[in-house]
Amino acid sequence: MKKIYAIAALGLLLYSCSSNQNTGENTDTADAVTATASSFDEPHRPQFHFTPPSGWMNDPNGMVYYKGEYHLFYQHNPDSTVWGPMHWGHAVSNDMVHWKHLPIALYPDSLGMIFSGSAVVDISNTSGLGTKVNPAMVAIFTYHNAEQERVGKNDFQTQGIAFSLDNGRSWTKYKNNPVLKNPGIRDFRDPKVSWYEAGQKWIMTLAVKDHISFYSSKNLLDWKLESDFGADVGAHGGVWECPDLFKLKVNGTNEEKWVLLVNINPGAPNGGSGTQYFIGSFDGNRFVMDPRFEAGLNAKPAIATAVNGQEGIWLDYGRDEYAGVTWANVPDSDGRRLFMGWMSNWNYANVVPTEKWRSAMTVARTLELENTPAGLRVVSQPVQELQNIYGDSYTFKEQAVSDTLTLSGNVPFTSSTFDLQLDLERLSPDGQFAVELSNNQNQKVLIGYDAARGQYYIDRRKASSNSFSDNFAGIHYAPRLATDDSFPVRLLVDVASVEFFADGGKTVMTDIFFPDEVFTKIRLIADKGQLRLTSGIIHDLKSIYASAEQK
Ligand code: FRU
């Protein structure tokens, strides 16, 4: 990233000269972009994942629910399909599936580009930026001052805020930005702010080079350092970025735990960027790991955690989930912890073969805490709202599978966008399987279980020529935490991606691919030992652009 930040410094200079947005105020009233099939049907354009209409996108930012809308802001370079001067793009949704694109929310200004961050609704008007009747939506983000970086300063990343009094439609930068200055550390960014009810204060979880710093504030404007966490635990193959901190109940118990998500780049188990996490307690001052979780983290070899020798416990072991964080302000009556990540990897994000836009987000997912044979873990599942785009469905009858079973072709199912759910039972200890997605050019992706390794995998070596990057083709592995003979697996396949939820979401992998023709053939391959398909269903997932009208 350092390299591209430097290139972007030049880009920002050029940009600033031609832009009039340095006042820090955005009163853009341009109409929302209407997404129609005709404008969203380019090669490789995902049909049910969020993508920007055009230009570059990376991290999801400022995810907040307010008045019936899920807001999704995102790192955005509107003028190019490569990373550059960062803005916050903006979209809203009623169901986290259909999105309405809104005008850019935050533009770079004289303090810097607008890097990643979060948003809250200041219900009690602690900041005084709104009123109790009309609370402010407050965005807390990192200013990255490329000019200061260029001249060799270390304190070029600071935290700023902006607020909106009209449901995120227009934004005003706070006049006394930055609200948190930099103590002289080059990597000091990605504030995730949440309300800590027990202490009646805001907590900012900040990524600081190789650790997390927790700050607190009564008013979102004045921040005080509480503590640091993590310099000596977890994965440290790269810089820590985009953290999140939230409370979850352990399924089936009344126990509450705190989950700390820490994105890291590079250093993920399959290379490049990834999301690791820690489970523990938080008292408004300090995060302390749960001893049971810590034992699993430190065990060498860690029980079902080490992939390719990499330490850490990961939310998603695929190569293409990064910078994932959760929505703020989801009502208690809903009660879900809702997550979304960027579906790419810094190893090759800038060169993937799309022309008009670059990158998609994952589907929205729920996060829950579960006791697994490997210890306490976060399990992820796609949100149930995905059913809003279910088309035709086909069920597969119970049967033994000893070679291959065609799941498309002999059933009238030809879609390249689907939700495939299979319950498989292993009939011998060396039983293994793969779901193969392929096209007429014999390009393919395999998603399966390797019995010898005891690991799940995605193999995209033959997905296409993969010629855009030397770092793209490969097989990616993930631990299996369950130990029994039943393998419930679920695959969400879009034009250019697969999200793989195994064992009820205990193991998750996300990978992207760029075949020359979409994958419409689906086969279940069961070699080495028999396998029984106990039940199975495939749902066509309809394009979210099927109708110009957003739900
Ligand atoms: C993560 C990241 C963040 C930073 C942003 C810049 O992908 O590097 O740390 O704020 O992207 O676009």
The verdict on the CB of residue 159 being under 6 Å from ligand 1 is: no
What are the residues facing 525 on neighbouring strands? 404, 434
Distance (Å, whole) CA 348 – CA 360: 14
Q: Residue for token digits 């916050």? A: 88
Query: Which stretch of 143-152, 180-189, 529-538 has the lowest confidence by average pLDDT?
Result: 529-538
The DSSP bridge pattern shows strands 55-66 and 357-358 to be parallel
Q: Which of 87, 156, 159, 190 to mutate to test the pocket of ligand 1 (most atoms within 8 A of CB)?
A: 190
C-alpha of residue 263 to centroid of ligand 1, in Å: 10
* pLDDT attached to residue 222: 98
* 249 backbone dihedrals φ, ψ, rounded to 5°: -85, 145
Structure-block tokens of residue 307:
């992939």
CA distances from 358 to 46, 57, 77, 103, 323 (A): 11, 6, 10, 18, 16
Query: What share of the chain in percent tops pLDDT 90?
Result: 82
Structure confidence by residue, pLDDT tens digits, 327-343: 999 999 999 999 999 99
Q: Which atom of ligand 1 is nearest to the CA of 187?
A: 9
Q: Measured from the CA of 117, which atom of ligand 1 is nearest?
A: 10
What is the rounded average pLDDT for all residues in the chain?
91
What number does the ligand 1 atom closest to the CA of 263 have? 1
pLDDT-derived band at 409 (thresholds 50, 70, 90) equals low
DSSP characters for 259-324?
EEEEEEES--TTSS-EEEEEEEEE-SS-EEE-HHHHHHHH-SSPTTT-BTTB-S-BS--SSS-EEE
Asked if the model's pLDDT at residue 35 lies above 60, the reply is no
Dihedral angle over CA of 234, 238, 239, 245, nearest 10:
-30
Q: What structural domains and CATH numbers belong to the chain? A: 391-550 (2.60.120.560)
- Report whether residue 86 contacts ligand 1, using a CB cutoff of 6 Å: yes
Residue 413, both tokens: 């199912």
Residue-wise pLDDT for 483-505, tens only, equals 999 999 999 999 999 999 999 99
**Which residues are catalytic, by number?**
59
75 CB within 6 A, ligand 1: yes
Residue 275 in contact with ligand 1 by CB distance below 6 A:
no
Supply the pLDDT for residue 400.
Answer: 92
Measured in Å, residue 305 CA sits from the centre of ligand 1 at: 26
Which of 121-135, 162-176, 298-312 is predicted with the least confidence, judged by mean pLDDT?
298-312
Closest ligand 1 atom, residue 242 Cα = 9
Answer yes or no: is the C-beta of 115 below 6 A from any ligand 1 atom: yes
* Model pLDDT for residues 120-161, shown as the tens digit of each residue: 999 999 999 999 999 999 999 999 999 999 999 999 999 999
323 touches ligand 1 (CB under 6 Å): yes
User: Residue 40 Cα, ligand 1 centroid: separation in angstroms?
Assistant: 26
Q: How far is the CA of 115 from the centre of ligand 1 (A)?
A: 6
Residue 306's pLDDT is 63
